[in-house]
Amino acid sequence: MHLTATALVLTALPHGEHGAVVRFLTPADGMHAGYVRGGRSRKIRPVLQPGNAVAVELRSRIDTQLAAATVELVTSRAGLAFDRLTAAITEYLATLTAAVLDEGTPAPRLHAALDALLDAMAAGTSPEQAAAGVARYELLLLAERGFGLDLDSCAATGAREDLIYVSPKSAQAVSAGAGAPYAAKLLPLPALLRDPRAAADWPDIAAALRTTGWFLERDLLTGAAASLRPARARLVALIDATGITTVAPQDAPG
């Protein structure tokens, strides 16, 4: 294998005394792992931080051999580490992607979505938009892994309007009228999961993360990937706390 690409760093794990096994997400060739010689050195370790964009070259003589990788920094997202929310989002999404993607399967939409969210956070997007980006990315990741939600029409009536629920069994949208008798058993469907241009407020973000989280835990965070459930729970708690502290000053009496 010989692959040269601009890629996002997902994870970097120590290997041996000085090296690191790194998982990269490329635009056209999906996720690939490689051994970076000296990956734990002071010079290279900052390059291998999750979320960074790097120029990577991967070489291996046979397909079953871990590729040797050389890297050069293209875009640093080091600034994201100085904010608690953006640091947690970056680490979680990078680790989640590495845990559930099949190696070598092209995922250009995932690469584009993750790169765009990282760019937006680095540019100073609002906490609401960053948190909404987590739910939207999780929704896309489910679709890329074959567990996409059908949010275009009502599972019961076929209607395309007034869709406010999701069936936890069929993963299909349900309209307000059809779902009213079963509301307690249905998941919420906020507009931000159906429309990437929809405004995102904190109650809608919490609702979206509840829905994507239910399907993630059912379909993707199983087996070895189940170890990510506590990390996701911590991120959701941080997002909830951020929403409370952001809204509270506005609601406080003068």
Write the DSSP assignment of 183-232 as a string of letters.
Answer: GGGSEE--GGGT-TTS---HHHHHHHHHHHHHHHHHHTS-GGGGGGHHHH
C-alpha Rg value of the chain to the nearest Å: 20
173 within 8 A of 165, measured Cβ to Cβ: yes
pLDDT in tens, 155-185: 999 999 999 999 999 999 999 999 999 999 9
CATH 2.40.30.10 fits 2-77, yes or no: no
pLDDT in tens, 63-114: 778 999 999 999 999 999 999 999 999 999 999 999 999 999 999 999 999 9
In this prediction the pTM is: 0.94
Containing H/E element for 12? strand 2-15
Mean pLDDT of 47-54: 97
Q: For the domain with range 84-251, which CATH number is right: 1.20.1440.120, 3.40.50.1970, 2.60.40.10, 3.40.50.1220?
A: 1.20.1440.120
What are the structural domain ranges in the chain? 2-77, 84-251
Is the pLDDT score of 254 beyond 50? no
Is the pLDDT score of 253 beyond 80? no
